[in-house]
Amino acid sequence: MSAASTTLVATAPARRGRLAADSGFVLIVSLVMAFLYLPIWILIIYSFNDNRTLTWPLTGFTTHWYEQLFQNEQLLTAIGNSFYVATCSTCLTLLVGVPAALALHRFSFPGKTIFRRLLLLPIALPGIVTGISMLNMFKMFGFNLSLETVILGHATALLAVVVTQVFARLQRLPKSLSEASSDLGANPLQTFIHVTLPNIRTALIGAGLLSFVLSFDEIPVTFFLTGRDNTLPMYIYSTMRRGVTPEINAVGTIIVLMSLILIIISVVFTVRDNTSKGIA
């Protein structure tokens, strides 16, 4: 009895201390989460607020800004342009980046390290430098600036993202897997399709999604390389001179929603990849 009570006495302060530490931890986490997500919630709330000026208190619920958004020709074109640019530059950068990563992984050649560093350089270069230098180059070759030149610019800047991610995954893949595949009679192409590709699939999806998002909201490179066409971030930026309108908040909310869907899709893919009963 006395032994039991001493244990209680001894553990109670310890338990209290742990409780305090736990609630402290929860508080910090909540603050960090608020810092990250509060602006987004404010954006969403204002997009449904029945008032042109963005001030408290909220005056009422409306979907008016969404209706207006779908009548704004310029805005809709900008969204369309952004999708076009992001999709094309993602595809282009994957088409160039994946073979580049494979080559880097598979072959050793003189100057390989330098080549790898050069590939990574665009990630470190400010977009403004990439933009100006590509503008100069396109002018030199007599290209007309258009969405296509933006695509080329984005694809170049994003190459580093794709190559790094795919290369890192390839490095983690045991060499014995592709050796086993060729040992079992597969030629290099079959080995790539049946063994390498399924094992780097999640890296491809991840790099693709990231490229898409980066291209979608890219401003500096786009600023220099676009012709008359505007992408969504450029359009939003240009309307900012008149202040943030609730319409822009509505666009922001839609983008948040779509990003969420993309994230869910990628998570579902990754999870299924890890637990799947295999392909084929």
State yes or no: residue 71 binds other proteins (CB under 8 A).
no
| Cβ–Cβ under 8 Å, residues 242 and 159 | no
In terms of Cβ atoms closer than 10 Å to its own Cβ (0-12, 13-18, 19+), residue 129 is: middle
State yes or no: residue 180 binds other proteins (CB under 8 A).
yes
**Residue of 57, 60, 110, 278 that binds other proteins (CB under 8 A):** 278
Please say which residue, 74 or 190, places its beta carbon nearer to other proteins. 190
Give the C-alpha distances (Å, rounded to integers) separating 27 from 22, 30, 33, 40, 112.
Answer: 9, 5, 10, 20, 49
Q: Which stretch binds other proteins (CB under 8 A): 96-104, 174-182, 214-222, 237-245?
A: 174-182
Shortest spacing between CB 109 and other proteins, in angstroms: 15
Please say which residue, 181 or 215, places its beta carbon nearer to other proteins. 181
Please say which residue, 181 or 249, places its beta carbon nearer to other proteins. 181
Shortest spacing between CB 195 and other proteins, in angstroms: 6
State yes or no: residue 194 binds other proteins (CB under 8 A).
yes
**Residue of 184, 240, 260, 262 that binds other proteins (CB under 8 A):** 184
Please say which residue, 122 or 198, places its beta carbon nearer to other proteins. 198
d(CA 81, CA 260): 21
Shortest spacing between CB 277 and other proteins, in angstroms: 6
**Residue of 163, 195, 225, 236 that binds other proteins (CB under 8 A):** 195
Q: Please, which residues have CB within 8 angstroms of residue 65's CB and are 6 or more apart in sequence?
A: 47, 48, 245, 246, 247, 249, 250
Report CA torsion sign: 72, 73, 75, 80.
Answer: positive
Closest CA to 202 of 265, 126, 153: 265
Give the C-alpha distances (Å, rounded to integers) separating 152 from 30, 94, 141.
Answer: 41, 13, 14
Binding site for other proteins (CB under 8 A): 174, 176-177, 179-187, 190, 194-195, 198-199, 273, 276-280
